[in-house]
Structure 1
Amino acid sequence: MIRPGRGAYGYERALARAGLGPVAGADEAGRGACAGPLVAAAVILHPQRPIGGLDDSKALTPQARERLYDEILRRAVAVAWAAVEADECDRLGMHQADLQGLRRAVGRLETAPNYVLTDGFPVDGLGVPGLAMWKGDKVAACVSAASIIAKVTRDRIMQEHDATFPEYGFRVHKGYCTSMHQSALEEHGPSPIHRWCFDNVVRAARSDRVGRL
Structure 2
Amino acid sequence: MEKLSITEIKTLFHENRITKTEIAILKDDTRKGVQQLIRTYEKNKLKELALEKAFDEMCTYERNAFAAGKHFIAGIDEAGRGPLAGPVVAAAVILPENFKLLGLNDSKQISESKRDEFFDIIKENAVSFGLSIMDSQTIDRVNIFEATKLAMKEALSKLTPQADHVLIDAVKLDNLTSSSESIIKGDAKSISIAAASILAKVTRDRLMRDIHNEFPVYDFKSNMGYGTKYHLEKLKEYGITPYHRKTFAPVKENM
Q: Could you tell me the TM-score, scaled by structure 2's length? A: 0.77
Judge conservation of contact 2:246–2:252 (CA < 8 Å) in 1.
yes
| Alpha-carbon separation, structure 2, partners of 1:66 and 1:5 | 19
Q: State the 1:155 CA deviation.
A: 0.2
Alignment of 1:29-108 (within 5 A): 29-108=79-158
Question: Secondary structure, in 3 states, of the residue corresponding to 1:42?
Answer: strand
Partner of 2:191: 141
Q: CA contact under 8 A between 2:55 and 2:191: conserved in structure 1?
A: no
Q: Which of 32, 41, 60 is equivalent to 1:10?
A: 60
Structure 2: give runs of 5+ residues left out of the alignment: 1-53
Partner of 1:125: 175
Match of 1:20 in 2: 70
CA contact under 8 A between 1:117 and 1:132: conserved in structure 2? yes
Q: Is the 8 A contact 1:12 1:21 kept in 2?
A: no
Equivalent AA in structure 2 for residue 196 of structure 1: K
Runs of 4+ in 1 over 2 A off after TM superposition: none
Q: 1:169 aligns with which of 216, 219, 226?
A: 219
1:140, distance to aligned residue in structure 2 (A): 0.3
Greater shift in the superposed pair: 177-186 or 144-153: 177-186
Name the CA distance, whole Å, in 2 between partners of 1:152 and 1:5.
Answer: 21
Amino acid at match of 2:129: V
The alignment partner of 1:190 has SS state of coil
2:234 and 2:172 map into 1 onto residues whose CA distance is: 36
TM-score (norm 1): 0.92
2:140·2:246 contact (CA, 8 Å) conserved in 1? yes
Deviation at 1:110, TM superposition (A): 1.9
Aligned-residue offset at 1:21:
2.4
Unaligned stretches of 5+ residues in structure 1: 206-213
Q: Quick one: which amino acid aligns to residue 128 of structure 1?
A: S
Query: What per-residue deviation string (whole Å, max 9, x for no partner) do you get for residues 61-105 of structure 1?
Result: 111111110110111111111000000000010110111010000
Task: Choose between structure 1 and 2 for higher RCO, CA contacts under 8 A separated by at least 6 residues.
Answer: 1
- Equivalent residue of 2:181, what SS? strand
For the pair shown, the structure with the greater C-alpha radius of gyration is: 2
Q: Aligned partners of 2:55 and 2:97: how far apart in 1?
A: 17
1:6 Cα deviation (Å)?
4.8
Number of residue equivalences: 202
Tell me, in whole angstroms, the C-alpha distance in 1 between the residues paired with 2:165 and 2:176.
9
Q: Structure 2: how far apart are the matches of 1:24 and 1:179?
A: 37
Paired with 2:55 and 2:157, the residues of 1 have a C-alpha distance of: 31
1:50 aligned counterpart, secondary structure: coil
CA RMSD of aligned residues (A): 1.4
Q: Does 1:184 align with 2:234?
A: yes
Provide the residue aligned with 2:7 in structure 1: none
**Greater shift in the superposed pair: 168-177 or 42-51:** 42-51
The amino acid across from 2:123 in the alignment is L
Q: Which structure shows the bigger proportion of residues in helix conformation?
A: 2
The SS at the match of 1:7 is helix
